[in-house]
Amino acid sequence: MFRNLILTVLIAIVLTYSLGHLATQWLDLHLSFAGDDFEPITSILALTGIVAILVVVGFIIAFSIFAAIAFALIAAGIGLFVVGLSIFWPIILFTLVIFLLVRDKQTPAH
């Protein structure tokens, strides 16, 4: 799983670098901070870093949402099991007593 995460981040970096290059060459996109323009490679690296951080945050959010949904489903399943057990415990007890009284008792042969 960690390997897939690293590959995903690397793919995001490559795509961001490629799209950043296209943005600076075709769309004349330049990054400026406090009135100073960054060099094209610096702005591409900054955009790549920002996108990589956003990709990691997106994965964390996606996994946390998946974990929350899985936890809720497991908790609901356990809750339904406990509710079913609490409703049907007299029937289960009655059938267990009948089973213990009626079953064939085998004596060991010596």
- Give 89's Cβ-side CA count (13 Å radius): 6
Q: Does 18 map to a domain?
A: yes
What's the whole-number mean pLDDT along residues 47-61?
A: 75
Query: Domain span at residue 20?
Result: 2-76
In the prediction, which pLDDT does 15 show? Answer: 73
First to last CA, the chain: 59
Residue pair 9/56 in contact by the 8 Å Cβ criterion: yes
What's the whole-number mean pLDDT along residues 60-84?
A: 87
Question: Which pLDDT tens digit goes with each residue over 36-53?
Answer: 766 766 666 776 677 778
Q: Does 47 map to a domain?
A: yes
**Overall pTM surpassing 0.85 (yes/no):** no
Q: Does 107 map to a domain?
A: no
What is the band of 76 on the pLDDT scale with cuts at 50, 70, 90? Answer: very high
Domains: count for the chain? 1
Is the pLDDT at 24 greater than 90? The verdict is no
